[in-house]
Amino acid sequence: MRLIAEDLACRRSGRRVFAGLSFTLGAGEALTVTGRNGAGKSSLLAILAGRLRPEAGRLVAEGVGERTIPECLHVVGHRDGLKGALTAEENLAFARDLLGDADLSPREALARLGLAHAAGLPVAYLSAGQRRRVALARLLVCRRPLWLLDEPTAALDVASQGALAGLMRAHLAGGGLVIAATHQALGLETARELSVEAFRAGRVEQSADPFAETV
Ligand SMILES: Nc1ncnc2c1ncn2[C@@H]1O[C@H](COP(=O)(O)OP(=O)(O)OP(=O)(O)O)[C@@H](O)[C@H]1O
């Protein structure tokens, strides 16, 4: 898969958040989206996920056949999207049935996140970091090329941050793409950085592409 974002602009509550934002991301590549609070990182991810309409610009996915961009991606955002009354395993089985493209079994995915022991517990009983790990395990139960991650290390301890870095590296090595909004280093040495602040309305040159030399 290759994702091309062209000249994206975003307006929220009547305020221009960013404009003229372009990038291209190919198979095996990662992008970290940075910027201060309120700069528009989550808004950019929402546009990429098809959950927020851009004020201008367009998104193109190459190499995905008939599939739409939302059918090619996973989102792990601020809200974990888990059902508290269901067990960790049941939540993942639900996601697998809903999304299709089955990959690892729920138990295998939980084991990769060090949560095999919690498979049978209702998610409501889990800690914040454990819930985040269940949400991240969703990445592994369905095969989707593009991972959109919003502050994926939030609430994770050091060991779990390392496990996440390993999962992202394996995904990239298999030709996947990762776009992660973050305030922290993610342990991805090859990731390029996209500062949303560089595209703040009034500060941008139209269609400026910070990766023009590398794509
Ligand atoms: N649901 C919403 N409705 C209207 N405006 C919103 C909404 N969500 C965010 N905004 C506004 O959009 C702008 C960008 O917010 P966004 O959440 O994308 O920033 P961010 O860079 O992800 O911030 P943070 O680092 O705090 O997560 C902010 O000015 C915010 O007030």
Rounded Cα distance, 196 and 54, in Å: 14
Helices (H), 10-126: 41-48, 88-99, 106-112
Q: Which of 24, 22, 58 is nearest to 207 (CA)?
A: 22
Q: Is 12 in the pocket of ligand 1 (CB under 6 A)?
A: yes
Q: Ligand 1: which of 11, 17, 37, 42 to mutate, judged by most atoms within 8 Å of the beta carbon?
A: 42
Rounded Cα distance, 142 and 105, in Å: 9
User: What DSSP designation does 205 have?
Assistant: P
Question: What ipTM describes this predicted complex?
Answer: 0.96
Atom of ligand 1 nearest to the CA of 15: 29
Sign of CA dihedral 108, 109, 113, 118: negative
Rounded Cα distance, 98 and 101, in Å: 10
The protein residue whose alpha carbon is closest to atom 6 in ligand 1 is: 12
Q: Is 35 in the pocket of ligand 1 (CB under 6 A)?
A: yes
Determine the distance from the C-alpha atom of residue 186 to the mean position of all C-alpha atoms in its chain, rounded to a whole number: 13
- Pairing relation of β-strands 2-12 and 15-25? antiparallel
Tens digit of each residue's pLDDT (9 = 90 or more) over 184-200: 889 898 999 999 999 99
Q: How far is the CA of 17 from the centre of ligand 1 (A)?
A: 8
Tens digit of each residue's pLDDT (9 = 90 or more) over 71-108: 999 999 989 999 999 999 999 999 999 998 999 999 99
Q: Supply φ then ψ for residue 123, to 5 degrees.
A: -60, -25
Residue 24, CA distances (Å) to 35, 177, 187, 208, 210 in order: 19, 11, 21, 12, 10
Q: Ligand 1: which of 8, 10, 11, 12 to mutate, judged by most atoms within 8 Å of the beta carbon?
A: 12
pLDDT under 50 in the chain at which residues?
Answer: 204-209, 211-215
pLDDT of residue 202: 58
Tokens (6 digits) for 27: 């198979």
